[in-house]
Amino acid sequence: MEKRLVEVVAALIWRGGRFMICRRPAHKACGLLWEFVGGKVEAGESDAEALARECREELDVEVNVGAAFMDVTHEYPEFTVHMTLYEASIREGEPKLLEHADIRWISPDEIPLYEFCPADRDILAEIRKRHPSVYAGA
């Protein structure tokens, strides 16, 4: 039996040299792990529309969705997720905890200090590659 494929979009939102991560609620799958804000693309929605909707629902912010940063496919036991991470910026509002347990702004150097959902791990490695530490080689 073939696993169900779930299309997901997520936002890479920078503020200065730090990007936003959100902690999943304890009662959800991957509870208390960190992730990027985002969610499933609904029928008839473009990726940009889905991401804007998810940011409104989860954080009460309006975003500008930019270029795709990276996409990954990850197989969980019950389903396969195909996630596209988009560069995004907040154009209106300040993030609120509507669905997440916590929100943090971290630098690429701080990635190892947090435990992320498995589907995010390749993306996090790419962020560290594209945004090397200002301290590298110091």
Q: Could you tell me if 27 and 111 are in contact, meaning their C-beta atoms sit under 8 angstroms apart?
A: no
Cα separation of 40 and 6, whole Å? 7
Domain residue spans of the chain: 4-130
Cα separation of 20 and 63, whole Å? 13
User: Which pTM does this prediction carry?
Assistant: 0.89
Residue type, 51: L
CATH superfamily assigned to domain 4-130 = Nucleoside Triphosphate Pyrophosphohydrolase (3.90.79.10)
> What is the chain's mean pLDDT, rounded?
92
Q: Rg of the chain over CA atoms, in angstroms?
A: 15
What one-character-per-residue DSSP string does 27-60 give?
Answer: TSTTTT-EE-SEEEPPTT--HHHHHHHHHHHHHS
pLDDT tens, residue by residue, 88-133: 999 999 999 999 999 999 999 999 999 999 889 999 999 999 987 6
Asked if residue 2 has pLDDT above 80, the reply is no
Instruction: Give the percent of the chain with pLDDT over 90.
Output: 79
Nearest-CA neighbor of 68 among 10, 122, 107, 20?
10
